[in-house]
Structure 1
Amino acid sequence: MAAALASRAGWAMQAIQERLTHIREKTEVIYTLDTLEYLARGGRIGRVKALAGALLNLKPIIRVDTDGKYSTVKTERTINKSIASIAEHIREKYGDTPLWVTVLHGRFAEKADMLTKEFQERLNIAKLEVMRISPVLGVHTGPGIVGAAVVPMELMGDLV
Protein backbone atom coordinates (compact mmCIF):
# COMPACT_ATOMS: atom_id res chain seq x y z
CA MET A 1 0.00 0.00 0.00
CA ALA A 2 2.83 2.38 0.84
CA ALA A 3 4.31 1.97 -2.66
CA ALA A 4 0.98 2.80 -4.29
CA LEU A 5 0.48 5.85 -2.08
CA ALA A 6 4.02 7.10 -2.73
CA SER A 7 3.68 6.53 -6.47
CA ARG A 8 0.39 8.43 -6.54
CA ALA A 9 2.12 11.26 -4.68
CA GLY A 10 4.76 11.43 -7.43
CA TRP A 11 7.71 9.94 -5.56
CA ALA A 12 10.74 8.74 -7.52
CA MET A 13 11.26 4.97 -7.71
CA GLN A 14 14.47 5.14 -5.62
CA ALA A 15 12.67 7.03 -2.84
CA ILE A 16 9.84 4.47 -2.87
CA GLN A 17 12.31 1.58 -2.61
CA GLU A 18 14.13 3.22 0.29
CA ARG A 19 10.87 3.85 2.15
CA LEU A 20 9.71 0.27 1.59
CA THR A 21 12.98 -1.01 3.02
CA HIS A 22 12.48 1.10 6.16
CA ILE A 23 8.87 -0.03 6.48
CA ARG A 24 9.87 -3.70 6.13
CA GLU A 25 12.53 -3.29 8.83
CA LYS A 26 10.14 -1.61 11.29
CA THR A 27 6.91 -3.54 10.65
CA GLU A 28 5.76 -6.27 13.01
CA VAL A 29 3.45 -8.98 11.68
CA ILE A 30 2.21 -11.26 14.42
CA TYR A 31 -0.71 -13.64 14.83
CA THR A 32 -2.17 -16.54 16.75
CA LEU A 33 -4.24 -19.52 15.70
CA ASP A 34 -7.23 -21.15 17.31
CA THR A 35 -6.14 -24.56 16.02
CA LEU A 36 -3.03 -26.13 14.54
CA GLU A 37 -5.12 -28.46 12.35
CA TYR A 38 -4.70 -26.45 9.16
CA LEU A 39 -0.94 -26.08 9.58
CA ALA A 40 -0.73 -29.87 9.90
CA ARG A 41 -2.95 -30.44 6.85
CA GLY A 42 -0.68 -28.21 4.80
CA GLY A 43 2.46 -29.98 6.01
CA ARG A 44 3.77 -26.92 7.87
CA ILE A 45 3.88 -28.82 11.16
CA GLY A 46 3.73 -32.52 11.97
CA ARG A 47 0.53 -34.33 12.87
CA VAL A 48 1.93 -35.27 16.29
CA LYS A 49 2.64 -31.63 17.10
CA ALA A 50 -0.87 -30.65 15.97
CA LEU A 51 -2.41 -33.41 18.09
CA ALA A 52 -0.37 -32.38 21.14
CA GLY A 53 -1.40 -28.77 20.55
CA ALA A 54 -5.06 -29.78 20.42
CA LEU A 55 -4.84 -31.96 23.54
CA LEU A 56 -3.03 -29.28 25.53
CA ASN A 57 -5.07 -26.45 23.99
CA LEU A 58 -1.89 -24.68 22.87
CA LYS A 59 -2.15 -21.42 20.94
CA PRO A 60 1.15 -20.34 19.38
CA ILE A 61 1.97 -16.69 18.84
CA ILE A 62 3.83 -16.46 15.55
CA ARG A 63 5.70 -13.51 14.09
CA VAL A 64 7.01 -12.95 10.60
CA ASP A 65 10.51 -11.46 10.51
CA THR A 66 11.89 -9.01 7.95
CA ASP A 67 13.04 -11.91 5.74
CA GLY A 68 9.59 -13.51 5.76
CA LYS A 69 10.58 -16.29 8.15
CA TYR A 70 8.10 -17.48 10.75
CA SER A 71 9.01 -18.01 14.40
CA THR A 72 7.05 -18.77 17.53
CA VAL A 73 7.28 -15.92 20.03
CA LYS A 74 5.36 -17.64 22.79
CA THR A 75 2.70 -20.28 23.33
CA GLU A 76 -0.36 -19.73 25.48
CA ARG A 77 -3.09 -22.11 26.70
CA THR A 78 -6.08 -20.05 25.52
CA ILE A 79 -6.81 -17.80 22.59
CA ASN A 80 -7.67 -14.95 24.97
CA LYS A 81 -4.25 -15.19 26.63
CA SER A 82 -2.62 -15.27 23.20
CA ILE A 83 -4.44 -12.09 22.24
CA ALA A 84 -3.29 -10.35 25.42
CA SER A 85 0.28 -11.54 24.78
CA ILE A 86 0.22 -10.15 21.24
CA ALA A 87 -0.82 -6.75 22.57
CA GLU A 88 1.91 -6.89 25.23
CA HIS A 89 4.53 -7.91 22.64
CA ILE A 90 3.62 -4.92 20.47
CA ARG A 91 3.66 -2.62 23.51
CA GLU A 92 7.14 -3.84 24.47
CA LYS A 93 8.43 -3.36 20.93
CA TYR A 94 7.01 0.09 20.20
CA GLY A 95 6.26 1.70 23.57
CA ASP A 96 4.35 4.97 23.09
CA THR A 97 5.27 5.38 19.42
CA PRO A 98 2.23 6.38 17.30
CA LEU A 99 1.27 3.34 15.23
CA TRP A 100 -0.69 2.35 12.15
CA VAL A 101 -2.32 -0.93 13.18
CA THR A 102 -4.14 -3.32 10.88
CA VAL A 103 -5.90 -6.09 12.79
CA LEU A 104 -6.27 -9.16 10.57
CA HIS A 105 -8.49 -12.20 10.99
CA GLY A 106 -10.05 -15.15 9.16
CA ARG A 107 -13.66 -15.68 10.13
CA PHE A 108 -12.83 -14.70 13.68
CA ALA A 109 -14.39 -11.23 14.02
CA GLU A 110 -15.14 -11.66 17.73
CA LYS A 111 -11.47 -12.22 18.53
CA ALA A 112 -10.43 -9.44 16.14
CA ASP A 113 -12.65 -7.14 18.18
CA MET A 114 -10.96 -8.39 21.35
CA LEU A 115 -7.48 -7.74 19.92
CA THR A 116 -8.60 -4.29 18.76
CA LYS A 117 -9.77 -3.48 22.28
CA GLU A 118 -6.46 -4.72 23.78
CA PHE A 119 -4.54 -2.53 21.34
CA GLN A 120 -6.70 0.52 22.07
CA GLU A 121 -6.02 0.09 25.79
CA ARG A 122 -2.26 -0.46 25.50
CA LEU A 123 -0.98 1.31 22.38
CA ASN A 124 -0.73 4.79 20.90
CA ILE A 125 -2.81 4.16 17.78
CA ALA A 126 -2.74 6.84 15.10
CA LYS A 127 -4.65 4.74 12.52
CA LEU A 128 -6.58 1.51 13.02
CA GLU A 129 -8.06 -0.84 10.46
CA VAL A 130 -9.67 -4.27 10.78
CA MET A 131 -9.54 -6.57 7.75
CA ARG A 132 -10.08 -10.18 6.78
CA ILE A 133 -6.99 -12.07 5.67
CA SER A 134 -6.54 -13.13 2.09
CA PRO A 135 -7.81 -16.59 1.11
CA VAL A 136 -4.22 -17.56 0.25
CA LEU A 137 -3.17 -17.21 3.89
CA GLY A 138 -6.46 -18.63 5.15
CA VAL A 139 -5.86 -21.90 3.30
CA HIS A 140 -2.78 -22.49 5.45
CA THR A 141 -4.05 -21.20 8.79
CA GLY A 142 -7.78 -21.87 8.74
CA PRO A 143 -10.47 -19.41 9.75
CA GLY A 144 -9.31 -19.16 13.38
CA ILE A 145 -6.47 -16.73 12.81
CA VAL A 146 -6.23 -13.32 14.45
CA GLY A 147 -3.27 -10.98 14.46
CA ALA A 148 -1.94 -7.68 13.26
CA ALA A 149 0.45 -5.83 11.02
CA VAL A 150 1.91 -2.85 12.87
CA VAL A 151 4.08 -0.05 11.50
CA PRO A 152 5.24 3.20 13.14
CA MET A 153 3.14 6.07 11.82
CA GLU A 154 6.30 8.14 11.25
CA LEU A 155 6.94 5.93 8.20
CA MET A 156 3.43 6.33 6.83
CA GLY A 157 2.27 9.76 7.96
CA ASP A 158 3.43 11.65 4.88
CA LEU A 159 1.71 9.11 2.61
CA VAL A 160 -1.82 9.39 3.97
Structure 2
Amino acid sequence: MSRIQVFTDSTCDLGLELRRRHAIEMVPLHVIFDDEDYLDGVNLQAEDLFRKVESGGKLPKTAAPSPGEFIAAFEPYIEQGCDIVYVGLSSKLSATFQNACLAAEHFPSGRIVCVDSLNLATCVGLLALKAARAAEAGLPLADIERMLLDARERLEAEFVIDTLDYLHKGGRCSALASFIGGLLKIRPVVKVVDGGMILASKIRGKREKALEQLLANLIEQRERIEDDFIFLEHASALEDALALKARLENEFGLQVELAEAGCVISSHCGPQTVGILYCRS
Protein backbone atom coordinates (compact mmCIF):
# COMPACT_ATOMS: atom_id res chain seq x y z
CA MET A 1 0.00 0.00 0.00
CA SER A 2 1.35 3.43 -0.95
CA ARG A 3 1.98 5.94 1.78
CA ILE A 4 -0.31 8.96 1.58
CA GLN A 5 1.19 12.44 1.93
CA VAL A 6 -1.13 15.27 2.99
CA PHE A 7 -0.67 18.74 1.50
CA THR A 8 -2.41 22.02 2.20
CA ASP A 9 -1.69 25.70 1.58
CA SER A 10 -0.62 28.54 3.87
CA THR A 11 -4.17 29.70 4.52
CA CYS A 12 -4.59 26.61 6.72
CA ASP A 13 -3.00 28.65 9.55
CA LEU A 14 -1.64 25.54 11.23
CA GLY A 15 1.49 26.19 13.25
CA LEU A 16 4.79 24.59 12.24
CA GLU A 17 4.85 22.26 15.24
CA LEU A 18 1.35 20.93 14.48
CA ARG A 19 2.19 20.42 10.80
CA ARG A 20 5.39 18.59 11.69
CA ARG A 21 3.62 16.39 14.23
CA HIS A 22 1.24 15.16 11.54
CA ALA A 23 3.70 15.34 8.61
CA ILE A 24 1.56 17.87 6.70
CA GLU A 25 3.27 19.72 3.85
CA MET A 26 2.29 23.33 3.09
CA VAL A 27 2.47 25.31 -0.18
CA PRO A 28 2.58 29.08 0.51
CA LEU A 29 0.52 31.76 -1.19
CA HIS A 30 2.18 34.97 -2.35
CA VAL A 31 1.84 38.34 -0.59
CA ILE A 32 2.88 41.26 -2.80
CA PHE A 33 3.74 44.79 -1.62
CA ASP A 34 4.42 46.86 -4.75
CA ASP A 35 7.38 45.02 -6.34
CA GLU A 36 8.20 42.89 -3.29
CA ASP A 37 6.92 39.33 -3.50
CA TYR A 38 6.81 37.39 -0.23
CA LEU A 39 5.75 33.86 0.66
CA ASP A 40 3.02 33.69 3.30
CA GLY A 41 4.41 32.22 6.51
CA VAL A 42 7.85 31.64 5.01
CA ASN A 43 9.58 35.02 4.70
CA LEU A 44 6.64 37.17 5.80
CA GLN A 45 4.63 36.79 9.02
CA ALA A 46 1.39 38.54 9.99
CA GLU A 47 3.14 40.97 12.34
CA ASP A 48 5.42 42.02 9.44
CA LEU A 49 2.36 42.57 7.26
CA PHE A 50 0.67 44.78 9.85
CA ARG A 51 3.82 46.91 10.18
CA LYS A 52 4.06 47.35 6.43
CA VAL A 53 0.38 48.29 6.11
CA GLU A 54 0.69 50.77 8.97
CA SER A 55 3.76 52.43 7.47
CA GLY A 56 2.61 52.35 3.83
CA GLY A 57 -1.12 52.83 4.27
CA LYS A 58 -2.24 50.21 1.77
CA LEU A 59 -2.86 46.50 1.71
CA PRO A 60 -0.77 44.03 -0.29
CA LYS A 61 -2.10 41.90 -3.10
CA THR A 62 -2.29 38.17 -2.54
CA ALA A 63 -1.74 35.57 -5.24
CA ALA A 64 -2.17 31.83 -5.53
CA PRO A 65 0.80 29.50 -5.95
CA SER A 66 1.25 28.68 -9.63
CA PRO A 67 0.62 25.19 -11.01
CA GLY A 68 4.40 24.95 -11.41
CA GLU A 69 4.92 25.60 -7.71
CA PHE A 70 2.46 22.83 -6.86
CA ILE A 71 4.17 20.47 -9.31
CA ALA A 72 7.53 21.19 -7.68
CA ALA A 73 6.04 20.47 -4.24
CA PHE A 74 4.20 17.29 -5.27
CA GLU A 75 6.86 15.71 -7.51
CA PRO A 76 9.35 14.45 -4.88
CA TYR A 77 6.59 12.55 -3.06
CA ILE A 78 5.16 11.05 -6.23
CA GLU A 79 8.66 9.90 -7.20
CA GLN A 80 9.00 8.26 -3.77
CA GLY A 81 5.85 6.25 -4.47
CA CYS A 82 3.48 8.28 -2.28
CA ASP A 83 -0.07 9.19 -3.21
CA ILE A 84 -1.18 12.70 -2.27
CA VAL A 85 -4.29 14.33 -0.84
CA TYR A 86 -4.35 18.11 -1.09
CA VAL A 87 -6.82 20.18 0.94
CA GLY A 88 -7.05 23.81 -0.16
CA LEU A 89 -8.57 27.22 0.38
CA SER A 90 -12.12 27.64 -0.98
CA SER A 91 -12.21 27.80 -4.77
CA LYS A 92 -14.69 30.67 -4.41
CA LEU A 93 -12.05 32.83 -2.72
CA SER A 94 -8.87 32.08 -4.68
CA ALA A 95 -7.36 30.34 -7.71
CA THR A 96 -5.20 28.26 -5.35
CA PHE A 97 -7.38 25.16 -5.54
CA GLN A 98 -7.70 25.33 -9.33
CA ASN A 99 -3.92 25.60 -9.69
CA ALA A 100 -3.42 22.55 -7.48
CA CYS A 101 -5.85 20.62 -9.70
CA LEU A 102 -3.92 21.68 -12.81
CA ALA A 103 -0.72 20.48 -11.15
CA ALA A 104 -2.33 17.13 -10.31
CA GLU A 105 -3.03 16.56 -14.04
CA HIS A 106 0.73 16.56 -14.60
CA PHE A 107 0.99 13.23 -12.75
CA PRO A 108 -0.51 9.78 -13.42
CA SER A 109 -4.26 9.60 -12.90
CA GLY A 110 -5.39 8.61 -9.42
CA ARG A 111 -2.17 9.56 -7.64
CA ILE A 112 -3.36 12.95 -6.36
CA VAL A 113 -6.74 13.85 -4.91
CA CYS A 114 -7.57 17.56 -4.51
CA VAL A 115 -10.30 18.50 -2.05
CA ASP A 116 -11.88 21.96 -2.08
CA SER A 117 -12.46 22.88 1.57
CA LEU A 118 -15.07 25.52 0.63
CA ASN A 119 -13.64 27.30 3.64
CA LEU A 120 -10.65 29.21 4.95
CA ALA A 121 -8.15 29.55 7.78
CA THR A 122 -8.07 26.74 10.32
CA CYS A 123 -11.16 25.09 8.81
CA VAL A 124 -8.78 24.24 5.94
CA GLY A 125 -6.29 23.12 8.59
CA LEU A 126 -8.92 21.06 10.37
CA LEU A 127 -9.61 19.08 7.20
CA ALA A 128 -5.88 18.64 6.61
CA LEU A 129 -5.52 17.27 10.14
CA LYS A 130 -8.41 14.86 9.58
CA ALA A 131 -6.74 13.70 6.36
CA ALA A 132 -3.39 13.23 8.12
CA ARG A 133 -4.92 11.18 10.94
CA ALA A 134 -6.80 9.05 8.42
CA ALA A 135 -3.59 8.48 6.45
CA GLU A 136 -1.77 7.54 9.66
CA ALA A 137 -4.55 5.00 10.34
CA GLY A 138 -4.00 3.43 6.91
CA LEU A 139 -7.21 4.54 5.16
CA PRO A 140 -7.01 4.42 1.35
CA LEU A 141 -7.07 7.59 -0.72
CA ALA A 142 -10.67 7.17 -1.90
CA ASP A 143 -11.96 6.75 1.67
CA ILE A 144 -10.07 9.83 2.83
CA GLU A 145 -11.56 11.86 -0.01
CA ARG A 146 -15.11 10.75 0.89
CA MET A 147 -14.51 11.54 4.55
CA LEU A 148 -13.25 15.05 3.75
CA LEU A 149 -16.12 15.84 1.38
CA ASP A 150 -18.56 14.84 4.12
CA ALA A 151 -16.75 16.80 6.83
CA ARG A 152 -16.52 20.04 4.82
CA GLU A 153 -20.32 20.32 4.87
CA ARG A 154 -20.19 20.50 8.66
CA LEU A 155 -17.50 23.15 9.10
CA GLU A 156 -18.27 26.34 11.02
CA ALA A 157 -16.14 29.49 10.92
CA GLU A 158 -17.06 32.77 12.63
CA PHE A 159 -14.85 35.82 13.17
CA VAL A 160 -15.22 39.08 15.08
CA ILE A 161 -13.38 41.85 13.26
CA ASP A 162 -12.20 44.73 15.42
CA THR A 163 -11.95 47.44 12.78
CA LEU A 164 -13.44 48.15 9.37
CA ASP A 165 -10.17 49.73 8.18
CA TYR A 166 -8.85 46.63 6.46
CA LEU A 167 -12.19 45.85 4.82
CA HIS A 168 -12.19 49.44 3.53
CA LYS A 169 -8.59 49.28 2.27
CA GLY A 170 -9.39 46.00 0.58
CA GLY A 171 -12.40 47.50 -1.19
CA ARG A 172 -14.95 45.54 0.82
CA CYS A 173 -16.69 48.53 2.41
CA SER A 174 -16.92 52.23 1.58
CA ALA A 175 -14.97 55.03 3.27
CA LEU A 176 -18.24 56.36 4.71
CA ALA A 177 -19.22 52.97 6.13
CA SER A 178 -15.76 52.61 7.65
CA PHE A 179 -15.91 56.10 9.17
CA ILE A 180 -19.42 55.65 10.60
CA GLY A 181 -18.55 52.16 11.81
CA GLY A 182 -15.58 53.57 13.71
CA LEU A 183 -17.67 56.30 15.30
CA LEU A 184 -20.34 53.83 16.41
CA LYS A 185 -17.79 51.18 17.42
CA ILE A 186 -19.36 48.57 15.15
CA ARG A 187 -17.72 45.14 15.25
CA PRO A 188 -18.54 43.10 12.14
CA VAL A 189 -19.12 39.37 12.55
CA VAL A 190 -18.04 37.42 9.47
CA LYS A 191 -19.06 33.82 8.71
CA VAL A 192 -18.16 31.41 5.95
CA VAL A 193 -21.23 30.26 4.01
CA ASP A 194 -21.19 28.18 0.80
CA GLY A 195 -17.48 28.73 0.35
CA GLY A 196 -17.59 32.53 0.63
CA MET A 197 -17.41 35.14 3.37
CA ILE A 198 -20.58 36.96 4.43
CA LEU A 199 -21.30 39.68 6.97
CA ALA A 200 -23.43 37.75 9.46
CA SER A 201 -24.12 40.60 11.88
CA LYS A 202 -22.83 43.86 13.31
CA ILE A 203 -22.31 44.19 17.04
CA ARG A 204 -22.31 47.74 18.36
CA GLY A 205 -20.40 48.61 21.50
CA LYS A 206 -17.31 47.47 23.31
CA ARG A 207 -15.06 44.77 21.94
CA GLU A 208 -15.79 42.60 24.99
CA LYS A 209 -19.45 42.48 23.98
CA ALA A 210 -18.56 41.12 20.55
CA LEU A 211 -16.25 38.48 22.02
CA GLU A 212 -18.94 37.41 24.48
CA GLN A 213 -21.35 36.98 21.57
CA LEU A 214 -18.79 34.87 19.72
CA LEU A 215 -18.46 32.69 22.80
CA ALA A 216 -22.22 32.44 23.27
CA ASN A 217 -22.70 31.38 19.63
CA LEU A 218 -20.27 28.51 20.16
CA ILE A 219 -21.81 27.37 23.44
CA GLU A 220 -25.23 27.21 21.75
CA GLN A 221 -23.74 24.55 19.46
CA ARG A 222 -21.84 22.74 22.22
CA GLU A 223 -23.72 19.46 21.89
CA ARG A 224 -23.15 19.43 18.13
CA ILE A 225 -19.37 19.99 18.15
CA GLU A 226 -17.03 17.22 17.09
CA ASP A 227 -14.58 16.93 19.94
CA ASP A 228 -11.53 16.33 17.72
CA PHE A 229 -10.54 19.94 17.15
CA ILE A 230 -11.89 23.35 18.10
CA PHE A 231 -9.70 26.13 16.81
CA LEU A 232 -9.55 29.56 18.37
CA GLU A 233 -7.76 31.74 15.83
CA HIS A 234 -6.52 35.29 16.23
CA ALA A 235 -4.69 38.02 14.35
CA SER A 236 -2.50 39.97 16.76
CA ALA A 237 -4.96 39.34 19.61
CA LEU A 238 -3.16 36.75 21.72
CA GLU A 239 -4.37 38.06 25.08
CA ASP A 240 -8.03 37.87 24.09
CA ALA A 241 -7.53 34.45 22.48
CA LEU A 242 -5.86 33.03 25.58
CA ALA A 243 -8.64 34.38 27.80
CA LEU A 244 -11.34 32.81 25.61
CA LYS A 245 -9.40 29.55 25.44
CA ALA A 246 -9.18 29.39 29.23
CA ARG A 247 -12.92 29.96 29.59
CA LEU A 248 -13.84 27.37 26.99
CA GLU A 249 -11.61 24.78 28.62
CA ASN A 250 -12.23 25.57 32.30
CA GLU A 251 -15.92 26.53 32.26
CA PHE A 252 -17.20 24.31 29.48
CA GLY A 253 -14.67 21.46 29.31
CA LEU A 254 -13.93 21.94 25.62
CA GLN A 255 -10.58 21.09 24.04
CA VAL A 256 -9.23 24.13 22.20
CA GLU A 257 -6.29 24.51 19.83
CA LEU A 258 -4.89 28.05 19.53
CA ALA A 259 -3.90 29.30 16.07
CA GLU A 260 -2.45 32.52 14.71
CA ALA A 261 -3.80 33.91 11.45
CA GLY A 262 -1.33 34.03 8.60
CA CYS A 263 -0.72 36.87 6.20
CA VAL A 264 -3.55 36.14 3.77
CA ILE A 265 -6.30 35.95 6.40
CA SER A 266 -4.78 38.89 8.31
CA SER A 267 -4.73 41.09 5.20
CA HIS A 268 -8.50 40.69 4.86
CA CYS A 269 -9.55 40.90 8.51
CA GLY A 270 -6.91 43.12 10.12
CA PRO A 271 -5.39 43.05 13.60
CA GLN A 272 -7.35 42.15 16.72
CA THR A 273 -9.52 39.67 14.83
CA VAL A 274 -10.67 36.62 16.78
CA GLY A 275 -12.40 33.58 15.31
CA ILE A 276 -13.80 30.23 16.41
CA LEU A 277 -13.70 27.36 13.94
CA TYR A 278 -14.88 23.76 14.33
CA CYS A 279 -16.73 20.87 12.74
CA ARG A 280 -20.27 19.89 13.68
CA SER A 281 -20.92 16.26 14.48
1:131 aligns with 2:259: yes
Tell me which residue corresponds to 1:108. 237
1:55 aligns with 2:202: no
Equivalent of residue 279 in structure 2, options 140, 151, 160: 151
TM (normalized to structure 2)? 0.49
Specify the structure having the higher radius of gyration (Cα).
Answer: 2
Following TM superposition, by how much is the alpha carbon of 1:122 offset from its aligned partner in structure 2, in angstroms? 5.9
Equivalent of residue 70 in structure 1, options 179, 185, 197: 197
- Return the letter of the residue paired with 2:273: I
Q: Aligned pair count?
A: 151
Tell me which residue corresponds to 1:93. 221
Report which structure shows greater RCO (CA 8 Å, sep ≥6). 1
Equivalent of residue 80 in structure 1, options 202, 205, 208: 208
| Alpha-carbon distance in 2 for matches of 1:58, 1:20 | 36
- Return the letter of the residue paired with 2:143: A
Gaps of 5+ in 2: 1-128
Gaps of 5+ in 1: 155-160
Question: What CA deviation, in whole Å up to 9, does each residue of 1:57-106 have, x standing for no partner?
Answer: 000111112x2222233322222111111111112234364532111011
Following TM superposition, by how much is the alpha carbon of 1:130 offset from its aligned partner in structure 2, in angstroms? 0.6
The change in CA–CA distance for 1:122 and 1:71 in structure 2 (over 3 A counts) is farther
Following TM superposition, by how much is the alpha carbon of 1:42 offset from its aligned partner in structure 2, in angstroms? 0.8
Whether the aligned pair in 2 keeps the contact of 1:32 and 1:146 (CA below 8 Å) is yes
The change in CA–CA distance for 1:149 and 1:58 in structure 2 (over 3 A counts) is same
The change in CA–CA distance for 1:150 and 1:97 in structure 2 (over 3 A counts) is closer
Whether the aligned pair in 2 keeps the contact of 1:87 and 1:118 (CA below 8 Å) is no
Whether the aligned pair in 2 keeps the contact of 1:60 and 1:72 (CA below 8 Å) is yes
RMSD: 2.0
Following TM superposition, by how much is the alpha carbon of 1:55 offset from its aligned partner in structure 2, in angstroms? 0.7
